[in-house]
Amino acid sequence: MHPLGEADITSAVLRQLEQTPSPRLREILTSLVTHLHAFVQEVRLTEDEWLQGIQFLTETGQMCTDKRQEFILLSDTLGVSMLVDLITHHKPAGATETTVMGPFHVQGAPELPNGASIARSDGGAPLWFSGRVLDLDGKPIAGAVLDVWQTAANGLYDVQDPAQPEFNMRGKLRTDAHGHFAFRTTRPISYPIPTDGPVGKLFDATTRQPYRPAHIHFIVTAEGFTPLTTHLFDAADGYLHTDAVFAFKPSLACQFEQHDSADGAPDPHMPVPYYTAVYDFVLTRADAASG
């Protein structure tokens, strides 16, 4: 084998990938190596910079636990997660749009009756959130499950904050026979992504703002329908168009209406003042999505 020069190394690596049994894996690795080598040559990457990059990725992995996924956060803040979302989910007109899941979803949230509160401990502004789950023809979907989560009023998820009880600001609801759902929570707030790890160092180095606009997470599932992972955003939030993870879509903006009187409150236990928000999720049938 002749000594490899700068112009030869990429071809040498690609030749060794040619026998990869999986065509898809071969395609992905071939493209990855081609682009990665081109990047290294384009920026004339130094050995010190290469080692810094390896250290950054090492620290990113070391920050990952069962309660925090720093690699997802890195993917989100580089726009990769949203790019994959846009490539993967082509929704027909009228269907609710997807967006990123984020790094703080937790399995096992308790199932709650409609009208229950997901706030086990929080001091935020009371919010009554309601709506329906429908198909593309506007027909209600009974028994759809909504997995809901958000931060507390301090801008932290329960898994970030030992002072919060387990599953605070989390819950699962089922739609009734008419496709309706409702739950009590608090009005979401904008908050910064975690900046105490390598992603935070990257934000400092690039002077990026770390804030996410106020939102509530949802995963909506129903038998025979394609699962939906999305957020609903506060339409009045100032960070909508500078979202640190690029996840905002205008169709996912929600109006939060303030009520200063208990007259007509949806729940007699709602303190005044309180907010209401309404949103209807529209799912696509699994057979239609696959076709």
The dihedral sign for the CA sequence 246, 249, 252, 253: positive
Domains contained in the chain, number? 2
Domain assignment present for 1 = no
Q: How confident is the model at residue 3 (pLDDT cuts 50, 70, 90)?
A: low
Letter for the amino acid at 291?
G
Domain assignment present for 119 = yes
Domain assignment present for 239 = yes
215-221 vs 228-234, strand pairing mode: antiparallel
Same domain, 128 and 209: yes
Domain assignment present for 158 = yes
Q: Of 202, 227, 158, which is closest to residue 53 (Cα–Cα)?
A: 202
φ, ψ dihedrals at 159, nearest 5°: -75, -10
Same domain, 41 and 170: no
Q: Is the pLDDT of residue 289 over 70?
A: no
How much of the chain, in percent, has pLDDT values that exceed 90? 89
Q: What is the reported pTM?
A: 0.90
Domain assignment present for 3 = no
Output 3 or 212, whichever has higher pLDDT.
212
Same domain, 28 and 134: no
Q: What is the CATH number of the domain that holds 255?
A: 2.60.130.10
Residue 140: other Cβ atoms inside 10 A? 16
Same domain, 162 and 142: yes
Predicted confidence at residue 2, as pLDDT, reads 64
Predicted confidence at residue 14, as pLDDT, reads 96
Same domain, 22 and 111: no
Alpha carbon distance 26, 23 (integer Å) = 5
φ, ψ dihedrals at 185, nearest 5°: -155, -155
Same domain, 32 and 82: no
Alpha carbon distance 184, 92 (integer Å) = 31
Same domain, 117 and 205: yes
Q: Round the average pLDDT of the chain to a whole number and report it.
A: 94
Same domain, 60 and 201: no
Domain final residue pick, 21, 52, 68: 68
Q: Which two tokens stand for residue 247?
A: 């996840």
Q: How confident is the model at residue 288 (pLDDT cuts 50, 70, 90)?
A: low
Predicted confidence at residue 183, as pLDDT, reads 97
Domain final residue pick, 68, 96, 114: 68
The domain containing residue 53 runs over which residues?
9-68
Domain assignment present for 277 = yes
Same domain, 60 and 184: no
pLDDT, tens digit, 9 for 90 and up, residues 222-267: 999 999 999 999 999 999 999 999 999 999 999 999 999 988 899 8
Domain assignment present for 4 = no
Same domain, 169 and 230: yes
Same domain, 17 and 158: no
pLDDT, tens digit, 9 for 90 and up, residues 159-197: 999 999 999 999 999 999 999 999 999 999 999 999 999
180-186 vs 253-254, strand pairing mode: unpaired
Three-point CA angle 76, 81, 84, nearest 5°: 170
Residues in the chain: 291
Predicted confidence at residue 291, as pLDDT, reads 43
Q: Are 174 and 111 in contact (CB under 8 A)?
A: yes
Same domain, 143 and 164: yes
